[in-house]
Amino acid sequence: MTTFHEKDVGVLISEEAVQARVKELGAEITRDYQGKELTLICVLKGSAFFAIDLARAIDLPLTLEFLGVSSYHGGTESTGEVRITTDVSKPMAGKHLLIIEDIIDTGLTMSFLLENLRARHPASVKICSLLEKPARAKTKVNIDYKGFVIEDKFVVGYGLDYGEKYRNLPFIGIWKHV
Ligand SMILES: O=P(O)(O)OC[C@H]1O[C@H](OP(=O)(O)OP(=O)(O)O)[C@H](O)[C@@H]1O
Ligand SMILES: Nc1nc2[nH]cnc2c(=O)[nH]1
């Protein structure tokens, strides 16, 4: 039986490989944040699937916050203008923040997030990104917890969209038409 995506999307990282890596990252974060009050910042919409799976793989009494930002607007190129679409629900001062992203591509979104969150005086800010695409980096971002380094291809699935679609694929796929 064919599924809805097969004409447009090829598998890059399988569901099994994604889930295994999420569990490893969860174990690493559990070790590193022992005794600290951890706040995960789930960056919407892309990191929703990753952040929820990762939260379940972390064995700590963490807090989950959601922060919406957008700069691609469903397309394959960053507009370069990052906008907050939904803000977190509580003050971030004094908290240990871990920003959860699905992908760091140009790095513009993460640079914006770091500046924005640091201005709120947290106790610490670290970065966890499932994917890094170094070939397109426009600014250097130091990723504390990284899932996979990928080639310069536009990817969809596991939260990542094209025209707001394909986020629900359980694997990371390559969009075939760019
Ligand atoms: O490193 P960059 O080039 O800035 O790209 C990374 C950002 O792009 C995507 O978000 P997008 O703006 O598509 O919004 P979305 O998460 O709602 O899909 C992704 O979720 C990251 O937040
Ligand atoms: N869906 C998707 N969004 C992105 N945002 C930045 N890079 C990408 C990418 O490769 N795919």
174 occurs within a structural domain: no
Percent of the chain having pLDDT more than 70? 99
- CA torsion 50-55-56-60 (nearest 10°) is 160
Asked whether this complex has an ipTM greater than 0.90, the answer is yes
Q: pLDDT of 157-178, one tens digit each?
A: 999 999 999 999 999 999 988 7
Catalytic residue among 53, 102, 105, 161: 105
9 occurs within a structural domain: no
| Dist. CA 27–CA 20, nearest whole Å | 11
> Would the pLDDT of 1 be above 70?
no
Q: For residue 112, give the 3-state DSSP assignment.
A: helix
1 occurs within a structural domain: no
- Is the distance from the beta carbon of residue 102 to the nearest atom of ligand 1 less than 6 Å? yes
111 occurs within a structural domain: yes
- Is the distance from the beta carbon of residue 63 to the nearest atom of ligand 1 less than 6 Å? no
Q: pLDDT of 100-145, one tens digit each?
A: 999 999 999 999 999 999 999 999 999 999 999 999 999 999 999 9
Domain boundaries, position 145:
19-72+83-151
